Structure 1
């Protein structure tokens, strides 16, 4: 499956909460969670090399509609609500249209 819609998000956790935020974001890969959806073809959580409280999330989806539909669901909304309480500031988002790439973990 190809990613036809994607985005990057930068999340800044409250001081010292970067590890907890990463752990929470990684639950997004659990069965029934948004990253486990058949429509999510890329889900990468990364930490800033210079600030462990700055987290980057890269997602690729089959379509923007599939992304929005999945995030309207109960599992995604539960994660989003928990994330909100850990943030020091509003997240930054950049939408994009994937062209080509490679990933190996």
Structure 2
């Protein structure tokens, strides 16, 4: 499969909540969660090197429609509801069209 839709999200946690934010974001890879879907080809959680409360998420999807469909589901809504109280401000998003790359974890 090829990723045709993707984005980067920057999330800023409340002070000293970066660890908890990372933990919750990584549950997005658990069975039944959006990141575990065959349509999610990239789900990378990273931290800022200079601020442990700034977390970046990079996602690549087979289509924008599949992303929206999965994020309208109960699992994604529940995850967002658990993440929102940890945030100091609204997430910032940059969308993109993946071209080519590599991921090995």
TM-score by length of 1: 0.99
> Is 1:21 the counterpart of 2:21 in the alignment?
yes
The runs of 5 or more residues in structure 1 that have no matched partner are: none
Q: What is the CA–CA distance in structure 1 between the aligned matches of 2:95 and 2:57, rounded to whole Å?
A: 12
Query: Number of residues paired by the alignment?
Result: 105
RMSD over aligned Cα, in angstroms?
A: 0.4
The structure 1 segments of at least 4 consecutive aligned residues displaced by more than 4 Å after TM superposition are none
1:5 maps to 2:5: yes
1:28-54: CA deviation from partner (whole Å, max 9, x where unpaired): 000000100111000000000000000
Unpaired segments of 5 or more residues in structure 2? none
TM-score by length of 2: 0.99
Say which SS state the counterpart of residue 89 (structure 1) adopts.
Answer: coil
Q: Partner of 2:43 in structure 1?
A: 43
- 2:59 alignment partner in structure 1: 59
